[in-house]
Amino acid sequence: MNNLEIVLEKLSDELIIKCTGRLDANRAGQLNDYVDRLVREGHYQISLDLTGVEYLSSVGIRTLISQNKNLSAVNGYFRIKAMSENVRQVLNMVGLAEILGQKPGKPKKTQSSGEKNNHFEAHGFNFSLTALSPKNQTELNFFGDPELLKISGYANKDVTQIKSGDNKFGIGLGALGDTFDDCKDRFGEFIQLGKSIAYLPGDGSKKPDYIVGTGQLVASLTALYGFNFTGNFSYLVRFESTDHLNTISVSDLAENLTKITGSTQLAVVMIAESAGLIGASINASPIDGKKIFTFPEIKETVNFTTEPAHNKALTLTVGLFSNMATAENKKYLRPLSPNNPMQAHLHSAVFSYVALKKTDINLAETIDYLFETTELKDILHLANDSREITGLGESRFVQGFCWIAPVD
């Protein structure tokens, strides 16, 4: 048999994948994609029956090792429950038969630190709230003048220096570097994620860059405008589809986050699987009166999503949701959707998809894990394309976690 047949058996606490045929360079990807789909659906306990596999190549072994490591990292397992003699001989020769066939211990039932005190369902999603420290105080700081973006009027006198650090988050326009002169040709969307700062240079490269602060290395960014806040999070909210088919828009997500926390203004850090992002980024640095938003220049100077982008990617989003307009925040926020009082400003860093822990998830550790193990693909300013007929609407998500700091 030159192909690979896959049959799925569902037990109460695990899935068993029965494979028949060859697990070689031509078929290993088939198994890998099949397992990836199951993991996206939330299945983290997976066993393999390889008694029908007649041939196992090095590419097949690499797939088995990769999935074993990925699921072990998120408190799950991927192990070989039964295997053919041919498979056993190959795995014995490379010293992996015992490791990949090891029977997992019974998964521990754990939950995030804090006490779950609220659950509800809305828009086809389950929401669960963990109170981390409701009395935490979060400092929100706005800087720079967003209005200068319209005329590309930024100069050295307008910049703010941003340094990375534990529990510091923010977004805006800026560039990695210490001075205006060093950064003036590269200003673009940035996202501050604790010890790490990433940005999309506005120099036409369309390739995000970042610095991860480690040891004595501190990331330094010259910012034109934006806001940042201390990550003294009061709540952690997990959201997931009730049937693994629904997706949720940014505005519906914001509505439910304000409802579940009882707050009117929220600083948020979200890790979520994308169902398609809608947004934009500048492709030219906004200095020296450069024409960016006029026609026909805008076709080259601004990158728009022409269709929902980065479907099934993992996103790290930082931003602010607000139901209260103030003199301070109104310049930095825009309506989430037409006729919606909720306003927001959100940037998303887009990574290749990896599975995440369902419980005991730590924000700082997860951010480090993403930068260390997967690829940063893009940074987008999320927007609502509300044009009649041709409008793409809002960004949508499949599942994820939101760390929330009320800043009423």
Measured distance CA(122)–CA(73) in Å, rounded: 31
Cis amide leading into 296 (omega within 30): yes
Are 155 and 145 a contacting pair, CB within 8 Å? no
Boundaries of CATH 3.30.750.24 in the chain? 5-101
The CATH fold assigned to 5-101 is Transcription Regulator spoIIAA (3.30.750)
Helix or strand holding residue 57 (H, E): none
In Å, how far are 230, 252, 275, 289 from 172, measured between CA atoms? 15, 24, 24, 19
pLDDT for 111: 45
Boundaries of CATH 3.30.1330.80 in the chain? 111-407
The dotted CATH code for 111-407 is: 3.30.1330.80
Query: What is the amino acid identity at position 18?
Result: K
pLDDT for 328: 83
Cβ count near 33 (within 10 Å): 11
Local structure of residue 24 (DSSP, 8 states): S
Are 89 and 50 a contacting pair, CB within 8 Å? no
pLDDT for 115: 52
Helix or strand holding residue 255 (H, E): helix 250-261
Are 53 and 19 a contacting pair, CB within 8 Å? yes
The residues that bridge with 80 in the sheet, in sequence order, are: 48
Local structure of residue 156 (DSSP, 8 states): G
- Write down the H helix ranges in 50-179: 58-73, 85-93, 97-101
Residue 191 CB-half CA count within 13 A: 28
98 three-class SS: helix
In Å, how far are 13, 362, 391 from 369, measured between CA atoms? 27, 10, 35
pLDDT for 358: 78
Which residues of the chain, if any, have pLDDT below 70? 1, 104-117
Beta strands in 341-393 (DSSP E): 343-351, 376-382
What is the phi/psi pair of residue 179, to 5°? -135, 160
Spatial neighbors of 206 by CB under 8 A, at least 6 apart, are 200, 283, 303
Measured distance CA(304)–CA(281) in Å, rounded: 7
pLDDT for 113: 47
Spatial neighbors of 381 by CB under 8 A, at least 6 apart, are 189, 279, 280, 281, 345, 346, 347
Contacts of 9-17 spanning 24+ positions with Cβ under 8 A: 13/45, 13/107, 14/45, 14/46, 14/47, 15/43, 15/45, 15/46, 15/47, 16/46, 16/47, 16/48, 16/49, 16/81, 17/46, 17/47, 17/48, 17/49
pLDDT for 135: 79
